[in-house]
């Protein structure tokens, strides 16, 4: 029981710190943040801080998010967009190096790697979409779907490799 509780608390802390990286980067780039949430599912707690920021805690501690003004984000330079999108990954990598050899360090490395991959709605995917839109000057459905599908295939490859590593044979 203690191990499960430790894992949940460590994972939640890693998620919160990841999102704090996005929040701080957005504030540095003067991108308004509308909502910060921990978890998914029904709201357990909500509180307004200041005039525009809503803090939420939700039932399932399986994720976290920072909802910022997307119109403002996409109006920023590509470097600023990538800075904001990559800030959570940078925090997780920093925490990994500071706590290497611990379960918390492993969780942070896993979050950094998972968010770097171009998996749908992860930071790496969002960064890839920002780069594609800057290159083409507008959304390009063929390129964006290609990025999304390649991310899904890459994700499947990573899962298959992990299963083979765990079980020592092809599954």
8 Å CB contact between 67 and 35: yes
Q: Which of 19, 35, 46, 144 is catalytic?
A: 19
User: Dihedral angle at the C-alpha atoms of 78, 82, 85, 88, nearest 10 degrees?
Assistant: -160
8 Å CB contact between 14 and 26: no
Q: Rounded to 5 degrees, what are φ and ψ at 145?
A: -70, -35
46 is catalytic: no
Q: Would you please indicate which residues are annotated as catalytic (active-site) residues?
A: 19
């Amino acid at each position: 029981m203690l191990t499960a509780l430790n894992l949940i608390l460590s994972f939640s802390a890693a998620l919160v710190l990841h999102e704090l990286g996005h929040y701080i980067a957005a504030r540095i780039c003067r991108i308004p943040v509308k909502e910060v949430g921990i978890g998914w599912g029904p709201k357990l707690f909500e509180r307004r801080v200041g005039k525009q920021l809503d803090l939420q805690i939700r039932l399932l501690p399986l994720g976290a998010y920072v909802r910022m003004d997307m119109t403002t984000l996409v109006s920023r330079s590509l470097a600023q967009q990538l800075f904001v999108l990559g800030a959570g990954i940078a925090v997780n990598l920093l925490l990994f190096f500071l706590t290497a050899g611990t379960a918390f360090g492993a969780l942070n490395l896993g979050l950094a790697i998972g968010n770097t991959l171009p998996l749908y709605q992860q930071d790496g995917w969002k960064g890839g979409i920002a780069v594609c839109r800057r290159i083409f000057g507008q959304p390009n459905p063929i390129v964006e779907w290609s990025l999304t599908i390649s991310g899904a295939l890459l994700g499947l490859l990573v899962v298959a490799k992990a299963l083979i590593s765990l079980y020592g044979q092809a599954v």
